[in-house]
Each structure stands twice: as structure tokens, then as C-alpha cells.
Structure 1
Amino acid sequence: MKYQFKFICLLLILGVALDFAAVAQNIDKDKLIADIEYLSSDELEGRKPLSEGNIKAQKHIRERFGSLNLTSQYSDFTQYFSFMNPRDSVQYEGAANIVGFIPGSESEYLIVITAHFDHLGVINGQIFNGADDNASGTAALLAMAEYFSVNRPKHSIMFAAVDAEEMGHQGAKALVADFPFPLEQVKLNINMDMISRNENNELYASGTFHNPKLKPVLESLEPFGQVTLKLGHDDPEMGKDDWTFSSDHAQFHLKDIPHIYFGVEDHPDYHKPTDTFENIDQDFYHQAAETVLRAVKAFDENL
């Protein structure tokens, strides 16, 4: 009888642990990994703006937003734009941001979540797959759209998969320049760019130097898994290690919109053909995405 009682207690403990894990994890890891694998596959050939692979990525994101019953202020979720690439003086016509929207339950103000889906394409016959940069942020954005599609936020949330970041944040520039609401309604931009690998299990949240009121929310987050959330890389005195203008969040910062940028420090495969799906850390990536989602939820509650 004594051993039977211990066995029953063990089963109850395991059951509670499993229930807790189910509640704690809000992102479907298998779907997250499948999305980053597809977006960084050779089929998409590095997702350079206007390429066939980039258009396939657009289609994947657009179809996911549609399946989640998101709305959009743009026809078929798509904001088309044109730009001059300053690096090669080529005019790009018909680049596209894919934008979904979930109305908030209590507030007229917005949170804008961004992640660029483009990368470098094919260079000298080699595919630059851009798994970490930035299929990782894009797949995480899709996971967050799925979460909030069934857990309505207080603030409205815009999910913007932006194009042409690698050519000077062109998609983010276009979004801010032709924003469908007064920019004063945007309370926060959360940007994800490279969140799928770090040998020290460190994920940075950059932006609190310029937006100190956001710091207590991040400091109050409970750790998730093995990820260590660190603040920094946002002090101008850091020089090249200041990330304030390193990705799409810069365009919001220039409009005096508070931002938090989630990313990892550069690794040996940054902007190389070796930034492939095989080189991401799947456990770290899932935990990093869950950490960002916890932050979004906390900001939604406390802004």
C-alpha cells in the first residue's frame, strides 16, 4: 500500500508538471521550427527583394495571416513600395511588406511587431539562406500572430513582416512613411532580428537606454528555459556596438516611437552562406521566441 501511494503521488506530480509545461509554453515549437526551415530553405534562394524566393516567402506569410483570420489595412495584407538601393543605385519597383492586424479589446493605441523576411539572395552562385538573419524573426512573428489570434490583446497589434531591411531598412521606412494610423497611436515597436542561436544562451533586449520607462517591464520577466535576457547595446557611447540603428526599429526610433529590439550578438555565420537552418539552436530559438512573447504580453498589460 505504501509503494502504491508513492506511485500515485509521483503520477500526480508528473501530471502537474506536464500541465504547467503546457500552460507555460504558448508557442508551438514544431510549427515554429517548420516555418524557419521553410523560410531559410534553398527553395527560397535567400529571399532577395523581388526574387521568386522572396515572393514565395510573401505568399507563405500572407496565407498564414489569412488562416488566422487577421485583418489588415492593406489589400491582401500587402503594402507595395519602391525604393532606390543605395548600394548599387538600382531602382526596385514592387517590393512588399506583409501586414496583419488584430484589434485590441481596450485601447485605441497600437503595438507594432516587426521582423524583416528578406535576406541577401544568391551571390556568386552561393545561396545566402539567412536562417538566423532573419527567417528566425519572421517565423517568431508568425507564432505571435497565432497566439494573439486566440488570445485577444488589450492594445491593437500590427504584425509587419517587412522587406528590404538588408538594403537600408527600406520596408520599415515605407511602413512608417505610409502608416495607416496616426503615428502618435503607436505606443511601442518590438523588432526581432536574429534570435535563433547564441552559444551563451543570451538574448538581448536593446532600447531601454532611450526608453527607460520600458526597463522595469523587462526586468520583471520570469526567465524562460535556459535563455538569459540581457539589456544593453543601446548606449551611443558604445559606437558600433550600439544597435539603435542596426535594424528596422531605427525607423520608429527616428519618429520618437519607443522601441525594443530583440536579437543576439553576431556569430561566425552572420551574412555568410553558412547561416543555414542546420546551424540554428532549436531549443534556444524556441525559448527565445517564448521570451519575446512574454515581453509582448507584459507590455500589453502595462503600457
Structure 2
Amino acid sequence: MQVAIKYCLSCLLIFSIHLAKAQSIDKTKLIEHIAYLSSDELEGRKTQSQGNLAAREYILNEFKSLDLATQYPDYIQKFSFEGRRDNKVYDQAANIIAYIPGSSSKKLIVITAHYDHVGIGRADSAGDSIYNGADDNASGTAALLELARYFKAHRPEHGIMFAALDGEEMGLQGAKALVKDFPYALDQIVLNINMDMISRNENGELYASGTYYYPTFKTILEEVASGNKPILKFGHDEPNTGRDNWTNSSDHGAFFKENVPHIYFGVEDHKDYHKPSDSFENIDQEFFVNATNLILKCTIVLDQELLKE
């Protein structure tokens, strides 16, 4: 499905001026979030573990401190599923969901990031068995919290749902649960922005995957990203390219299945992917802050441009 959006360079020039004046995310808070969420204390945040529950409480408190709205009791959407590998029933999984109403449109942008990781596993050569998941995906969760803070202070045109999702590492379970039990008709969603692994890349590259299906987004994002760091690249979304195709590799896949347009911001796999060494010490703080600010700029412009659909 291709999204038709009226687009003009003069409009983007206006938005560029707006963005130049726009408040960026809170760098200090962003780093505090990722440091805590990827700490040994949370033991890798596997679904239904004590560390996962601690992460849930942290996110919940952040949403409450911002006095955000929600469509779910106490911000929590509970769900259950059966693990594909262990056949265990996970009946206390939970998404944490907040909402900011739009100023001009009743339609929605849904911003997602999964807060779970794989927990404790086989120890590495250094004897470390905690898979901290700093990049995967404490980074996206931290960014989600700071985007929520920004849009609380700068009301968007569309309503924005901020969904911290559980169970991604076990088959996109949180995203599937959200789509299945969404509080509105799914055709009210104009865009899903998903963030998963955005805190490091040796080449200074961040990908916006999904524009193969929604090419008008590429035109817009290229203009927004021009002259910014990190370098915004496109791809990893063409059919029949095997593992190089990220279309169903993270939570946006559940939205794509329901024909909801998406942009997935992420980096290519690195040597610490799904290893204990994916720790806070190995993120690139400058890259992470710049990537989050770039995603913020992209979101601001997409929010404006989607009004013209």
C-alpha cells in the first residue's frame, strides 16, 4: 500500500526553519534512561522476570511523571502467550502505553520500542552471563521516553501513542497484542514509527527501513536528514532478500501485516548483538543522542506532512 501525501519543497523549507528552532531531546535524561535499563540490576529484562518488572515500573513512572493520557488501566495492557522455545505460558506480559492527543487530527501516529531483552544466558569468556541489551533495545525505549517528554511540551498535530512493548524477543508478542486489542480502528493509524537498536554504528549510519513500500516518506526523510548526523540511509526492506529484509524483524512487522504504514529506525547488527557485551559501556553516546534528535525531527515533519494526506 502506498501512502499519497501532497508534498512541496516550500513546505519543507518552512518546517526546516521550525526545526532549527525546535527544542531537542534532554540529553542527560536520555543517557540516564539507557544506563538504568541496561544495568546489571535489571538482569537483561526477559519477559516476566524481576528485571523486566523493574523496567516496566520505571517506564510507568516516567509516563506518570509527564501526566500523559492513556487508553489502558494504569497505562498497562496485559497479555499472555506461549513461548515458542520453552512452551511456557507467559501470562503476566505487559505493554506500557501512553497517549498525547493531537491538535488538528483525530488520527494517530503510534511510536513503538520494545523494552524486553533475552535475560541471563550462556556466559562469555569474561564470565558475564547478563545480556544487558543496551542497544537492543534499551536505546529505543530511552528514546521513546524522551520523545514523549518532547511532545508533551510541544503538542503534535496527530494524536501520538507511545507504546513500550514487551515480548519482542519472543516473537513480536507485545506488538501483536497491541494490534489485536487496539483501542481504535486500525485505519485510524496513519503511521507506526518503530525504534529498535539506535545507539551505535561504526559508520555513523542510521537506517529508515520501510520506504520501499512507502516511497513518499523517503522523499520527506531525505530532506529532513540532509546535513544532519548520523547519516540516514534507506533499504533493508525489499522483498525476497532474506535476512537483509527487516520488514518483519521487529515490532513494526505486526503493523505491516495489518497494512499500517511504518518507518523502522535501526542500525545494522554489530559484534555485540545478542551478547553480554551489548552493554552501556559499548554504546556511542554521541551517536545515540544525535540519532534520537534526528528521529525527533523526522517525526515532527511526518506529523505535519501526514495532515495533507
TM-score by length of structure 2 reads: 0.89
Residues 223, 291 of structure 1: 8 Å contact kept: no
State the Cα distance separating 1:240 from its structure 2 match: 1.0
Structure 2 unaligned runs (5+)? 1-17, 124-128
Residues 190 and 261 in structure 1, CA contact (< 8 A), matched pair in contact too:
yes
**Equivalent residue of 1:71, what SS?**
coil
> For residues 24 and 110 of structure 1, what CA distance do their matches in structure 2 show?
22
Q: Determine if the alignment matches structure 1 residue 168 to structure 2 residue 166.
A: no
The SS at the match of 1:237 is coil
Contact kept, 8 Å, 1:100 with 1:159, in 2: the verdict is yes
* Segments of 4+ moved more than 2 angstroms: 20-25, 222-226
Moved more, 97-106 or 230-239: 230-239
* Paired residues for 1:1-303 under 5 Å: 23=21, 26-124=24-122, 126-223=129-226, 225-303=228-306
Instruction: Give 3-state SS (helix, strand or coil) of 1:49's partner.
Output: coil
Q: Using the alignment, how far apart are the partners of 1:60 and 1:298 within structure 2? A: 29
Describe the superposition over 1:152-174 as per-residue Cα deviations: whole angstroms up to 9, x where unpaired: 00000000000010000000000
Q: CA deviation at 1:245?
A: 0.6
Taking the aligned partners of 1:108 and 1:180, their CA distance within structure 2 comes to: 13
Higher RCO (CA < 8 A, seq sep 6+) = 2
What SS does the aligned partner of 2:224 have?
coil
Is the 8 Å Cα contact of residues 247 and 253 (structure 2) preserved in structure 1?
A: yes
Kindly provide the amino acid, as one letter, of the partner of residue 94 in structure 1.
Q
Instruction: Tell me, in whole angstroms, the C-alpha distance in 1 between the residues paired with 2:20 and 2:193.
Output: 25
After superposition, the Cα gap between the structure-2 partners of 1:258 and 1:41, relative to the gap in structure 1 and judged at 3 Å, is same
Residue pair 1:116, 1:164 contacting (<8 A) in 2 also: yes
Contact 1:48–1:54 (8 Å) recurs in 2 = yes
Q: Give the secondary-structure state (helix, strand or coil) at the position aligned to 2:207.
A: strand
**Greater CA radius of gyration, 1 or 2?**
1
Which amino acid in structure 1 is aligned with residue 233 of structure 2? K
Q: CA shift at 1:85, angstroms? A: 1.1
Amino acid in structure 2 at the alignment position of 1:102: I
Partner of residue 5, structure 2: none
Distance in 1 (alpha carbons) for counterparts of 2:21 and 2:103: 22
Whether the 8 Å contact between 2:229 and 2:291 is mirrored in structure 1 is: no
Question: How many angstroms apart in 1 are the aligned matches of 2:192 and 2:55?
Answer: 23
8 Å CA contact 1:224, 1:287 repeated in 2: no
Cα distance in 1 between the residues matched to 2:23 and 2:159 = 23
Aligned-partner residue type, residue 214 of structure 2: N
Secondary structure at 1:175's aligned position in 2?
helix
- 1:261, distance to aligned residue in structure 2 (A): 0.2
Displacement of 1:238 in angstroms is 2.2
For 2:197 and 2:259, how far apart are their aligned partners in 1?
24
Q: Is the 8 A contact 1:40 1:131 kept in 2?
A: yes
Q: Which moved more, 1:80-89 or 1:191-200?
A: 80-89
Q: Deviations over 1:1-36 (max 9, x none)?
A: xxxxxxxxxxxxxxxxxxx99945511111100100
1:128 partner amino acid: Y
TM-score norm. by structure 1 comes to 0.91
Q: What is the aligned-residue RMSD (CA, Å)?
A: 1.5
Change (3 A) 1:22 1:211: closer
Ranges in structure 1 where 5+ consecutive residues have no aligned partner? 1-19
8 Å contact from structure 2 (residues 192, 261) kept in 1 = yes
CA distance in 2, matches of 1:22, 1:52: 42
How far does the alpha carbon of each residue in 1:250-292 deviate from its partner, in whole angstroms, 9 at most, with x for none?
0000000000000000000000000000000000000000011
